[in-house]
Amino acid sequence: MNNLRIEPEKGILNKGNWYRLKRVMRKAMSGEEITVGFLGGSITQGCLSSTPKTCYAYLVYEWWKNKFPNTKVNYVNAGIGGTTSQFGVARADKDLLAYDIDFSVVEFSVNDVNNDHFQETYEGLIRKLYSSKTAPALLIVNSVQYNDGVNAQEKHNEIGKLYQLPCVSMKPTIYAKVENGEIKNTDITPDDLHPNDAGHGLMAEVITYFLEQVYADLENATEQDWEMPAPMTENAYEDSVRYQNNEAYPINRGFDSDETPQNDIREIFRNGWTASQKGASITFMVEGTCLAVQYRKSVVQPTPIARAVIDGKEDEAVILDGNFEETWGDSLHLETIAEHIAGGLHEVKIEIIETHEDDKVPFYLTSIIASK
**Domain ranges within the chain, ordered by starting residue:** 2-216, 240-371
Question: Quick one: 240-371 is in which CATH superfamily?
Answer: Galactose-binding domain-like (2.60.120.260)
Q: Look at residues 48, 46, 129 and name the one whose alpha carbon lies nearest to residue 85.
A: 129
User: Rounded CA gap, 181 and 173, in Å?
Assistant: 13
User: Rounded CA gap, 49 and 26, in Å?
Assistant: 32
Quote the pLDDT of residue 2: 43
Quote the pLDDT of residue 293: 98
Quote the pLDDT of residue 287: 96
Quote the pLDDT of residue 163: 97
27, 102 contact by CB (below 8 A): yes
Quote the pLDDT of residue 327: 80
HEC string for the chain: CHHHCCCHHHHEEECCCCHHHHHHHHHHHCCCCEEEEEEECHHHHCCCCCCHHHCHHHHHHHHHHHHCCCCCEEEEEEECCCCCHHHHHHHHHHHCHHHCCCEEEEECCCCCCCCHHHHHHHHHHHHHHHCCCCCCEEEEEECCCCCCCCCCHHHHHHHHHHCCCCEEECHHHHHHHHHCCCCCHHHHCCCCCCCCHHHHHHHHHHHHHHHHHHHHCCCCCCCCCCCCCCCCCCCCCCCEEEECCCCCCCCEECCEECCCCCCCCCCCCCCCEEECCCCCEEEEEEECCEEEEEEEEECCCCCCEEEEEECCCHHHCEEEECECCCCCCCEEEEEEEECCCCCCEEEEEEEEEECCCCCCCCEEEEEEEEEC
In the chain, which residues have pLDDT < 50? 1-2
pTM value is 0.96
Quote the pLDDT of residue 222: 87
CATH of 2-216, one of 3.20.20.70, 3.40.50.1110, 3.40.190.10, 3.10.129.10: 3.40.50.1110
